A and B are shown apart, each in its own frame.
Chain A
Amino acid sequence: MPMIGEEQRMTPDRPHEFPSLGDSHVLLTGATGFLGQATLEKLLSAHPGVRVSVLIRPRGGTSAQRRFDGLLRKPVFRTMRERIGEDELRRIAAERVNVIEGDLGEVTLPSDIDVVIHGASTVSFDPPIDEAFRTNVSGVVTLYEALHKAGADPHVVHVSTAYVAGVRKGVVPEARLDHGVDWRTELGEALAAHADVERDSRRPEVLRKSMARAQGEHRKAGPQSVVAAAEEARQAWVTERLVDYGRARAQSLGWPDVYTFTKALGERAAEELWGERRLSIVRPAIVESSLRHPYPGWIDGYKMADPLIIAYGRGVLPEFPGLPDSVVDIIPVDLVVNATIAVAATPPERGTPGYFHVGSGSRNPLSFRGLYENVRDYFRRHPMPAGERGHIRVPQWRFPGSRQVEMMLSSSERATSAAERALLRLPASAKTREWMTAVHRQQTNLDFLRRYSDLYQAYTKAEVIYDDSRTHALHRTVPADRVDEHGFDPSVIDWEHYLQEVHSPSVTELMRGFSKGRGGGRKSADPVLPERTDVAAVFDLEGTIIASNLIESYLWARLSSMPRSQWSGELADLARSLPRYLRAERRDRGDFVRAFLRRYQGADVAELNALVKDVLGEAVLQRVMPEAVRRIRAHRAAGHKTILITGTIDVFVEPLATLFDEVVASRMHERDGRLTGYLDAPPLVDEARAAWLRRHAADTGLDLSQSYAYADSYSDRPLLEAVGNANAVNPDPSLYRHAKRKHWRIHEWGAHTRGRGDVLIDTVGARSAR
């Protein structure tokens, strides 16, 4: 047991009576954050004399005052609202809260500030390095500059985190961090890293690589889609590199991640810039939902442990790397708020900053295993609903050790990405989509696991205790009758009660509501189409309205117009050419259309028209998907303009033409009553469709953002992206993946459509029966 330092045991500057903020003027930064909201609420509800200034940045056109008004409507004020009423709350807020709009760097702070509670910080553990430094280090610098400028001399309570101690074992004292890293150098380099990485990302080797990848995946959707994807990939690469810069630098200096690294340097900056005045540093551990105040279970969004709890409840965390006996230092937010306010009310001597750990690890430790068991028991008693399949059964963890979990994880990752690559090459079918969904789900789960197991290594494998003697000494000054309201002793937490009755119900509430909202079924009914005349419903033909394709309709036409004796020759020739067509199709839809339509060279126009009228029209209708027709008609009934865009030649569209206000099809060039095998104009495929649609919308006054499009192939992605309501119909694997990511509606149509072979036999049979 390491010795506790002299200065921690002796607190001569802390009188042994309950300190109060009295009628101080408190400046609160980060008031809209989790801890900030709770602090503001507590100051307003339990410290009637205190005046508060909050610093709020306007966001997305919402002014600071409006954001603050919004804050008053949040659940954190629910108890207070119920107690004193909406109007009284507003009155108190108007009277006691001064909203300062803007950034620390640009505003003028009031000069009469007594206390600053600096809670602003990044919420993410792995932001890009420049972003982390800007908030957690530059933010601190700016604060003190602003205070100097205002001529104020307050007691500053700097909210940090217990994990600034970095990767270490044993007991960490409440004292100045022991490291020699120069924060100014690190800050400068971090901010410069952005420019370096941006420059790197523009190197031709990097660009070519992302271009090649984008080509492979997006060529079918057209050239603009390829470059857009490549640029998107470059930006993603920049972010990823900067995140990596941060993580690597942090780990090279002994911190688990860039968050704790920058928070540690932030402390150093505060000590340097304000250490000669009155400075207290509060270091909470893992802050989670309230124990009691404002009401048990209050939380704002998901905190650190919550994604894991939910993932576990959904049955997707088979194991997690972590030591069963390591201490998970969780502390309810209301205890942190009470401690922070108590610290704020007890300024230290000038020039001797005070340090306070707020956690549960030292007085009431919760082991990783204890956390797991409580959460497991909670989900066994209250399993998450699984739609029509009843409830989810949660897995049993065996804590096999991080090496094994890591091995399991990386082999699963390899298998899934191989499976996805294979699936993307398969043709579109309900089965392929089912497999895609399974792989997609598996991948999401793995990504999640990977992300959190990397991130949380330090927190779930920690063999470290944060000493909290000074914090506890402060707690003991709280009079017995006020402990419930102002105390912050972690030993009052009954973990079983807190985890099973308070925290888990609170964090799963949102998810449960979500599952219920989906009605249990996977398929939700089609939304009602609003009646209006300024929107369009655009449909692709092949694969979307009819189940057949160019080759199929060619076979109908060709075989029913030639004697049976010549069929084998024609079929053999088609079979020989198929690989060529398939290659063209992979490369570019337009190439395929051009190449294939050459087969019509020499066909008699009059005969083809007669054929369509006699039998081919019927074949088209047999291959129609009734759901598509119903949908087109529903759009029409709602007053929408129905548009058909297809690369097929116009004669084959004839039987369906009356369903549409506008038909855009290919026309074949003819000479002397025969087709030449060439098109009159380039076929309307991939981006050309979107371009046509935009032009058409501009000419006719259609509102594309409210319009609808339906298509089945990845080459239609630009068309689908051109409208507000994109619908993927029996999508091919690439489009399916894209639609899933974009949360587009996905339809499975064609339940009553007749089979390809049946229709071919009927069609050529009907003709030769004449």
Chain B
Amino acid sequence: MSRPGFVLDVDERTPPLVVHQGEGFRLERLPLGSKVIYPPDSLPGIRDVDAAIRNALLHPHGTEPLPELLRAGMRLTIVFDDLSLPLPQMQTPDVRQRIIEHVLEMAAAKGVDDVELIAANALHRRMTPAELRRTVGDRVFRAFFPEHLKNHDAEDRDNLLHMGKTRHGEDVEINRRAAESDLIVYVNITLTAMSGGAKSVSVGLASYRSLRHHHNVHTLRHSNSFNDPPNSAMHHSYERMKGLIDEHVKVFTIETTLNNDTFPSSMGFLNKREWEWNVRDQATYLGVKRANELMPKKTRRRIWQNTAAPYGVTGVHAGLQSEVHPLTLQNVHRQQRTEVNGQSDIAIYGLPYICPYNVNSVMNPILVMSLGLGYFFNLYMNKPIVRQGGVAIFYHPVPNEFHPVHHPSYIDFFEEILTESTDPVLLETKYEEQFATDPWYIQLYRNSYAYHGVHPFYMWYWGAHALEHLGDVIFVGGNRKTTARMGFRSATTLADALEMAKDTVGGSPSISYLHAPPLALADVR
């Protein structure tokens, strides 16, 4: 049994604590009395993952075993989570590869020939052949690519099916091949409580027409938080859409959860609590930190991006989504949930080098915003760790860097739209449509490896709840120009940031530091 999550009160004996800061990290001494929120220790992984998968497929929840759903002559579509999961990427073999191999074996045994594999990338960039190969494995890749292993194309009008509207008038439009299959097998990795469940098919295979009903400022401001589905307007919308999809097509879901072995053994100290570091951990800390700083920028980025996590699989559940997902969420909570007593005036977050949208790419300023004010701020249940009107302090250099191929619309969004306004509602009403329907962005999304034109807007909405909640946002070590462009402030040190925060929260604020990654979900009472 692993130790549960833990809130540390910083006192004189507390050593400096690890804070992530983009492609690097530092040890920071926090003010006495600060609360530090640690996730539970990493859970042990399942020893025989293949056996667990077979077992899940043969003994699913709420439906017949998979082999009984398969028959010769049927149309089978296997859909899997794209490159945005998990973070960082897991060491091969990827759990999706293992599951897909099992499913294909069973399908072959039943004589199913019409099989398509689709990456559920929604408006994300297409996965490159190399990325697909890494996710599904060599054997599957060679057998299916490129004719039967594809990325979902949300702008291929001929290959989308409008299924109707929910009772709230939300359009449900998804990939036609999947929608017209006799069976969809959805292969999922649930890294945080927001993924999986109803989101899988209704978002991963959808089009802009459908996504706009929940990816908008209003919904996100009423998703408190989006990591807590019962309290998330966004998830309510997913559920309604999923209800409609279920009327048209049968979906067999396989959900998996991972433990908190986020960093490989060479950086094992990042998985541990600081006061438990042994001499070796301290030595590696010093060595890794120094080497990291000395490395040329490009090499450093390549090394971080090539880091794969030695995740253990903590659960494999298959069957009817509505019965599977609660079990999955239990596993996520077992690994990430930490009870926290009350909110504080200031929240501190160390933002790492990776987010769902910069795998093998560049973390641009807008992605930093969405990682901080979107993902990290929303790692809570019940209440944010910082009070209404409080201050969030993020650690990140926020460099003015963009990937020209992956994020072309982001560059224009940053240079032309954010210079006009940073108000999510104004951006949404004035500019979203224009970016979403721009033929050049659509061409790049479909034929190159670009995120959809509308995607930077979604990133901005992701932070809408935090923007409304917070009194001030300060980036320690942040590039002045980029942070100011986004309407934030930058400070050189934590001391400076706390000094700047005084205007908002006074001279002796209470402070909480969410110690992540590995990910922690604060359950604030």
Spell out A's residues near B (CB within 8 Å): 617-618, 621-622, 624-626, 629-630, 633, 655, 658-659, 751-755, 758, 766, 769-770
Q: Are B408 and A626 in contact (CB under 8 A)?
A: yes
In this assembly, does B468 line the interface, its C-beta being within 8 Å of a C-beta of chain A? no
Contact A629:B448 (CB < 8 A) given known A751-B400, A752-B403, A769-B129: no
Task: Pick the residue among B411, B443, B444, B449 that contacts A752 (CB under 8 A).
Answer: B411
Residue from A622, A630, A754 in contact with B416 in the complex, judged by beta carbons closer than 8 Å:
A630
Given contacts A630-B411, A659-B440, A755-B298, contact A622 B129 (CB under 8 A): no
Contact of B128 among A629, A753, A754, A766 (CB under 8 A): A766
A560 to B130, CA, bound (A): 15
- Is B448's CB under 8 angstroms from A617's CB? yes
CB of A622 within 8 A of CB of B408, answer: no
The 13 listed contacts between A and B (C-beta, < 8 Å) are A621-B404, A622-B404, A625-B404, A626-B408, A626-B412, A630-B411, A630-B415, A655-B448, A659-B440, A752-B402, A766-B128, A766-B129, A769-B129
Q: Is B439 part of the binding interface, using a Cβ–Cβ cutoff of 8 Å?
A: yes
Cβ contacts under 8 Å, B439 to chain A: 658
CA A753 – CA B443 in complex, angstroms? 19
Say yes or no: is B496 at the interface (Cβ < 8 Å to chain A).
Answer: no
Contact B448 A753 (CB under 8 A): no
CB distance from B445 to the nearest CB of A (A): 12
Q: Nearest-CB distance from B523 to chain A (Å)? A: 40
Cβ contact within 8 Å between B128 and A626: no
A633 to B408, CA, bound (A): 12
Shortest CB-to-CB span from A519 to chain B, Å, is: 15
A753 touches which of B129, B404, B440 (Cβ 8 Å):
B404
B14 on interface, CB distance cutoff 8 Å: no
The smallest C-beta distance from B456 to any residue of chain A, in angstroms, reads 13
Q: Which residues of A contact B415 (CB under 8 A)?
A: 630
Contact of B448 with A618 in the complex, beta carbons under 8 Å: yes
CB-CB nearest 3 A-B residue pairs: A752-B402, A626-B411, A752-B404
Bound complex: CA A625 to CA B411 (Å): 11
| Additional pairs, 15, CB under 8 Å, beyond known A622-B405, A626-B412, A752-B403 | A618-B449, A621-B405, A621-B448, A622-B404, A624-B405, A625-B404, A629-B440, A633-B440, A658-B439, A751-B400, A752-B401, A752-B411, A755-B298, A766-B128, A769-B133
Residues of B within 8 A of A (CB): 128-130, 133, 298, 400-405, 408, 411-412, 415-416, 439-440, 443-444, 447-449
Closest to A753 in B: B404
Point out the residues of chain B lying under 8 angstroms from A621, CB to CB.
404-405, 444, 448
Whether the pair A766, B448 counts as a contact (CB closer than 8 A) is no
A613 to chain B, nearest CB (A): 9
Q: In the complex, what distance in Å separates the CA atom of A626 from the CA atom of B440?
A: 12
B126 to chain A, nearest CB (A): 11
- Bound state CA distance, A611 and B416, in angstroms? 34
With known contacts A621-B444, A755-B298, A630–B130 Cβ distance under 8 A = no
Q: How far is the CA of A659 from the CA of B408 in the complex (A)?
A: 14
**A626 to B448, Cβ gap below 8 A?**
no
Q: Report chain A residues within 8 Å CB of B403.
A: 752, 754
Query: B129–A629 contact, CB under 8 A?
Result: no
What separation, in Å, do the CA atoms of A710 and B404 have in the docked complex? 20
Shortest CB distance A768–B (Å) = 11
Say whether A754 contacts B404, CB under 8 Å: yes
Report the nearest B residue to A634, measured CB to CB: B416
CB-CB under 8 A for A658 and B440, given A630-B412, A766-B128, A769-B130: yes
Q: How far is the CA of A766 from the CA of B128 in the complex (A)?
A: 9
Residues of B within 8 A of A618 (CB): 405, 448-449
- Contact at B130–A766, with CB atoms within 8 Å? yes
Which residues of chain B are near A753, meaning CB under 8 Å? Answer: 404
Q: How far is the CB of B417 from chain A (nearest CB, A)?
A: 12
Q: Is the CB of B404 within 8 A of A624?
A: yes
Who on chain B is nearest to A624 by CB?
B404
Closest to B415 in A: A630
Nearest CB in chain B to that of A758: its residue: B298
**Residues of chain B lying within 8 A (CB to CB) of residue A769:** 129-130, 133
In the assembled complex, which residues on chain B have CB atoms less than 8 Å from the CB atom of A625? 404
Tell me which residues across on chain B come within 8 A of A630, comparing CB atoms: 411-412, 415-416
A510 vs B400: C-alpha distance when bound (angstroms): 38
Residues of A within 8 A of B129 (CB): 766, 769-770
Q: How far is the CA of A363 from the CA of B439 in the complex (A)?
A: 80
Give A547's nearest chain B residue, CB to CB.
Answer: B404
Q: Which residues of B contact A659 (CB under 8 A)?
A: 440
Complex CA distance for A617 and B411, rounded to whole angstroms: 20
Residues of chain B within 8 A (CB-CB) of A752 are 401-404, 411
Closest to B128 in A: A766
**Interfacial chain B residues near A622, Cβ < 8 Å:** 404-405
Min C-beta distance of A416 to chain B, whole Å: 34
Question: Which residues from A are CB-within-8-Å of B443?
Answer: 658
Bound complex: CA A111 to CA B411 (Å)? 76
Q: Which of B130, B402, B405, B444 has the most A CB atoms < 10 Å from its CB? A: B405
Report chain A residues within 8 Å CB of B444. Answer: 621
A625 to B448, CA, bound (A): 15
Contact status B298-A626, CB under 8 Å: no
Q: Residue on A with the closest CB to B402?
A: A752
Give, as a whole number of angstroms, the nearest-CB distance from A332 to chain B.
50
Inter-chain contacts of A754 with B (CB < 8 A): 403-405
CA distance in complex: A755, B296 (Å)? 14
The residue of chain B having its C-beta at the shortest distance from the C-beta of A622 within the complex is: B405
- Give A617 to B133 CA distance when docked, in angstroms: 21
Residues of chain B contacted by A658 (CB below 8 angstroms): 439-440, 443
Contacts of B402 in A (CB 8 A): 626, 752
Known: A618-B449, A658-B443, A659-B440. A629 touches B408 (CB 8 A): yes
CB contacts (< 8 Å) of B416 on chain A: these are 630
- In the complex, the chain B residue whose C-beta lies closest to that of A659 is B440
Minimum Cβ distance to chain A for residue B411 (Å): 5
Among residues of B, the one whose C-beta sits closest to the C-beta of A769 is B130
Alpha-carbon distance between A478 and B76 when the two chains are bound, in angstroms: 113
Chain B residues with CB under 8 Å of A751's CB are: 400
Q: Which A residues are CB-close (under 8 A) to B449? A: 618
> Among the interface residues B130, B400, B403, B404, which one has the most CB atoms of the partner chain A within 10 A?
B404
Query: Complex Cα distance A254/B415, Å?
Result: 64
Question: Which of chain A's residues have a CB closer than 8 A to the CB of B448?
Answer: 617-618, 621, 655
Cα–Cα, bound, A530→B210 (Å): 36
Contacts of B133 in A (CB 8 A): 769
B436 to chain A, nearest CB (A): 15
Collect the chain B residues with CB atoms within 8 Å of residue A629's CB: 408, 440
| Docked complex Cα distance between A624 and B448 (Å) | 13
Q: Which chain A residue shows the least CB distance to B408?
A: A626
Residue on A nearest B449 in the bound complex, by CB: A618
Residues of A within 8 A of B128 (CB): 766
Nearest CB in chain B to that of A625: its residue: B404
Give Cα distance in the complex from A751 to B412, angstroms: 13
- Set of chain B residues within 8 Å of A624, measured between Cβ atoms: 404-405
Nearest-Cβ distance from residue B137 to partner chain A, whole angstroms: 15
Chain B neighbourhood of A758, CB < 8 A:
298
B446 to chain A, nearest CB (A): 11
**Whole-angstrom CA separation of A629 from B438 in the bound complex:** 13
Counting chain B CB atoms within 10 Å of each CB, the highest count among A624, A655, A658, A752 belongs to A752
Q: Given the complex of chains A and B, what is the CA–CA distance between A624 and B406 in angstroms?
A: 12
Q: How far is the CA of A629 from the CA of B453 in the complex (A)?
A: 14
Q: Quick check: B404 and A626 within 8 Å, CB to CB?
A: yes
Q: Find the A residue at minimum CB distance from B133.
A: A769
Bound Cα distance from A376 to B408, whole angstroms: 53
A-side contacts of B298, CB under 8 Å: 755, 758
Bound Cα distance A624, B403 (Å): 11
- C-alpha gap A626/B411 in the complex (Å): 7
Rounded to whole Å, the gap between the CB of B152 and the closest CB of chain A is: 19
Q: In the docked arrangement, what's the CA distance between A758 and B296, Å?
A: 14
Q: Which of A622, A625, A659 is packed against the most chain B CB atoms within 10 Å?
A: A622
Kindly state the separation between the CA atoms of A77 and B98 in the bound complex, as whole angstroms: 92
| CA of A753 to CA of B411, assembled, Å | 11
Q: How far is the CB of A658 from chain B (nearest CB, A)?
A: 6
The docked-state distance in angstroms from the alpha carbon of A758 to that of B133 is 21
